[in-house]
Amino acid sequence: MSQRLALITGCTRGLGRALVERFIREGITVVGCGRNLRQVEELNEQYAPEHSFYPVDVSDSEDVSRFAHIVLEELGPPDLLINNAALMNDPAKLWDVPAAAFSRLVDVNIKGVHHMIRHFVPAMVERGSGGIVNFSSGWGRSSSPDVVPYCTSKWAIEGLSQGLAQELPAGMFCVPLNPGIINTEMLQQCSGEAASAYPLANEWADDAAAFILKLSASDNGQPVTVA
């Protein structure tokens, strides 16, 4: 087993899936979670037993707790906790966004990150090492019409990450990461055909994986962007 363990949420598609493949090629042991059982099973068929994947809804604290118990018992604390799982809202004026849709987005994009931190970071702190990478967005540092719920969630991730960074012991780090603009299902959902002007997730992952693996305690609390 690799000396480095990366835990990736939202690992079954988009940026998460691309990072799984790229990290494995780099010799990193990967454990991941996602909501789509069939896609989780496909990952296990492809990469087990060296790597492991679980069906988990990060918005459900009890589900995350069960997941954390398994991972911490079998593998120990991750060296990298990568909170990637997120939802995008269907484009609409804020006053037209249904309450249930707004709540579900907050449950995944904000509360899901907190659930992962609450159940995994204490073991990382006890060990005294490791990093938390919370996926933000360009829309976590700016805003745009028709995607206000998503912007709201990513602005929250910026603040959450910088606040958590101040609470971590020396030697650890937490950063909000803007991955850049990538042609994923989420971008297609809000931008339509314009998404095709941007690189695919697998193309992005070549640079992004190397960037993430170079992050260290010297980056703690700094908003970072995949160059």
Mean of per-residue pLDDT scores for the chain: 95
Could you tell me the two tokens for 3?
A: 């000396």
* 226 within domain boundaries: no
Could you tell me the two tokens for 194?
A: 């314009």
Specify whether 198 is catalytic. Answer: no
Would you write out the chain's pLDDT as a tens digit for each of its 227 residues? 447 999 999 999 999 999 999 999 999 999 999 999 999 999 999 999 999 999 999 999 999 999 999 999 999 999 999 999 999 999 999 999 999 999 999 999 999 999 999 999 999 999 999 999 999 999 999 999 999 999 999 999 999 999 999 999 999 999 999 998 887 777 789 888 888 888 888 999 999 999 999 999 999 999 999 97
pLDDT in tens, 172-204: 999 999 998 887 777 789 888 888 888 888 999
Which pLDDT score, from 0 to 100, does residue 149 have?
A: 98
* 183 within domain boundaries: yes
Closest listed residue to residue 52, CA positions, set 67, 64, 35 = 67
Q: Which of 47, 54, 150, 198 is catalytic?
A: 150
* 227 within domain boundaries: no
Question: In this structure, are residues 176 and 140 in contact, taking their beta carbons and an 8 Å threshold?
Answer: yes
Q: Count of domains in the chain?
A: 1
Q: Which range of residues forms the domain containing residue 214?
A: 5-221
Which pLDDT score, from 0 to 100, does residue 2 have?
A: 46
Which pLDDT score, from 0 to 100, does residue 212 have?
A: 98
pLDDT in tens, 25-53: 999 999 999 999 999 999 999 999 999 99
For the stretch 30-39, contacts whose Cβ atoms lie closer than 8 Å and that sit 24 or more positions apart, written own/partner, are 30/5, 30/6, 31/5, 31/6, 31/7, 31/71, 31/75, 31/78, 32/7, 32/8, 33/7, 33/8, 33/9, 33/58, 33/67, 33/85, 34/9, 34/10, 34/85, 36/12, 39/12, 39/13
Closest listed residue to residue 7, CA positions, set 62, 67, 48, 91 = 67
Q: How many CB atoms lie within 10 A of CB 69?
A: 11
* 50 within domain boundaries: yes
* 182 within domain boundaries: yes
Which pLDDT score, from 0 to 100, does residue 23 have?
A: 98
Report the CATH number at residue 59. 3.40.50.720
Quote the pTM value.
0.95
Which pLDDT score, from 0 to 100, does residue 1 have?
A: 42
For the chain, list the strands marked E by DSSP: 5-9, 29-34, 52-55, 80-83, 130-135, 172-178, 224-225
Closest listed residue to residue 164, CA positions, set 213, 117, 123, 218 = 117
